[in-house]
Each structure stands twice: as C-alpha cells, then as structure tokens.
Amino acid sequence: MQSRERVLRALAFQGPDRPPISHAILPCAQFHYGDALQRVVDAVPEDFGWSLLPDLPPEDLPAAYKAGDNRDEWGTLWRVTRQGRFGIPIECPIAPDWSNYDTYRWPELGPGTPLDTALPKYRQYSGQMTGESDAYYPRGGSLTFFEKLQQLHGFEATLEDLATREPMIYRLRDDLLQFNLAWLDRWLAEDYLGVQFADDWGAQANMLVSPAMWRSFFKPVYAEMLGKVKKAGRQVWFHSDGYILPIIPDLIELGVDVLNCQSAVMESDKLKQFAGHLCFRTDIDRQHLLPFGRPEDVKRQVHELFEALGTPNGGIVASGELSFDVPLANIEAMYEAFLDFRY
C-alpha cells in the first residue's frame, strides 16, 4: 500500500495495512545525535514524504529555534538557550497598555515576502521530499492563533485582557483572524491535502482558559479558519499540548480530522470515547516515558495507546515528539513498535 493511500485510509477508518508514520523530531535532537539519528530515521518508512536533512544550517532556523536572542518577522524577540529547542518570547511588539497598537506593522504577505517564502522553507526545515511526491500525503502549515496573541501582546497581558474583556483584545483577535485568513489563501494555493493548526490550550491538569471563555472568544475564530480549509476540500490537522479534554467535542464539531494531543496528561479511557470520531496523531509520553523509560516500556505503551485511541479500521497516525533528551535506544524502540502494530 502506498503512503498516500495508507494515510487517507487511516483518516477515513477504511482499514490501512498499518498506522502511517509521521516524524516529529525537534532540531535539537538532530543537532545532538547527528548521523546516529539519521541512520535510525533512514530505516523508517515515513508516510508524509519527509526525511531528516543531512545538514540543517543553524542560520536557517526560525527565530524561535535559533540560539541566542533573535527577532522574528512579527517583531517578537525570542530567547533560545539551546540550538534547535523552542525558545520563549522575551519582548512582544504590542505593548501591554496597547499604546502602540495603531502603529504596529503587520508582516507583509505576497510573493517574495518573509512569510511567503516560509512556505517552501517549511519543507526545507521539516525535511525533504523523497521519491515521487504523488506517492505521499502532503501536509503543510502550522498556523497558530492563541499562541500568536501571546507572542504579540505577552502571555500575562493577554490572559488579563481576556479576563477583563478589554475591548482591544477583541480588536486584536479580529485583526489577527483577517491576517490568518489571508495567509491561509497562500497555503491553500499549494498542493497540500491537509493543513495543520497548532495552539497549546492545556496546562498539566486544566485548560489555560475556561472552556466557556474558549467557546465564546476563540471558537468562532477557529470556525472561520477551519471552515475555510474544509470548504477548499482539505483536511484539518490540529495540535494542542496539555489537558484539553473539555474542548475535544468542540474540535470534532468544527471539523478537525486529525488531533495531536498530549494524551499522557489525560485519562486514556476518557479519550477513548472519541476513537472513531477523529483520527489521533499520537503523542508518546515525552515527560517521563521517552526520556526515562526502558525500551520495552516504550514498546508496550505504544501498543496500549494505539489500542486505546484507534479502532479496528484505523484512526491512528503514529508519531512521537523527539527531543535531545530521548535515548537512541528508546527512539529505535518507538519506531519498531510503530512498525509492528497491526489493527
């Protein structure tokens, strides 16, 4: 079975021969392990047409991954303490008191602009196409909204303004929505079958905002963005770390086809109720299991997770985020379990 058919069957619950495999390898792991990790990855038949780049020049990393303090196209200053590991914003362009909002310069969209060239750069950064491109399932984008609000206005300021219903936070929401809709036009002009959105909505045991706030302030935004993708005949992929159990029914209602959530911080028996309603791109426990477990523990828990979240007819995209702290033996064990599992 070719990769594209395998992915489409998994998402449609139509009996793929095995779960399709999707890499989630942070650049810091690539820098840390180098050729040793490349050899492991080369032995894995990944189903989205990506492989690690043999050479990933540090100067080509986005500001959020480049060591030191670097400013991105939005005007956010990032501090990265380890090359290739996601950093933190230390300076946001829109002041907490909103005093400079009217003079804020949004990034430009269009041919040759930084965000436009980010489309092909995304392919270079994530990996390179291997073999015939029509044999794979092309997936693009990684559009954020809640996270972008924080990166523009600051984490504390954003939460405070949401809590007090500051009128300017509504203005920023609406302006960012219009920007993202225009940016989506650029992604939808490409040949991707799936478009990915990413916003971390959960903490360890609760959501960062109340479900009621999420539904009143953010759900309408997602309805427009995701609706645009669905109207274009593409599939929606959605990533969110943390505890997000209360809003999974909302994500299903909005048309999310594939959910990449941090299942280790949620009860698998409660997640199981959604099996068959959407496809899960798995997240293997990266807080405890992958960095500190034994290879046999990794294999066992991969199979248990797939059994819990999948169905006899599919519903799983096999994936596990790999950072520099995951031993190579556990990386090998994870991929072996991905390849061994059968519905």
H-assigned helices in the chain:
3-12, 27-33, 35-42, 114-126, 146-153, 155-164, 167-188, 211-213, 219-231, 248-254, 268-271, 289-292, 295-309, 328-340
Residue type, 16: P
* pLDDT value of position 307: 96
Locate the domains of the chain by residue range: 3-340
**Is-contact 328 34, C-beta < 8 A?**
no
Q: Judge if pTM exceeds 0.85.
A: yes
Percent with pLDDT over 90 in the chain: 82
Task: Please give the CATH architecture assigned to the domain spanning 3-340.
Answer: Alpha-Beta Barrel (3.20)
Grouped pLDDT means (10 residues each) for the chain, 343 residues: 96 97 93 93 88 67 93 97 95 98 93 65 38 76 95 98 98 98 92 94 97 98 98 98 98 98 91 96 97 98 96 97 97 98 90
pLDDT for position 55: 61
Query: Would you state the pLDDT for residue 51?
Result: 66
What pLDDT is stored for residue 141 in this prediction?
A: 85
Are residues 275 and 252 in contact, defined by beta-carbon separation less than 8 angstroms?
Answer: no
pLDDT digits (tens, 9 = 90+) for 224-281: 999 999 999 999 999 999 999 999 999 999 999 999 999 999 987 899 999 999 999 9
List alpha helices for 20-61, DSSP H.
27-33, 35-42
Q: Residue 180 contacts by C-beta under 8 Å, 6 or more apart in sequence?
A: 143, 145, 225
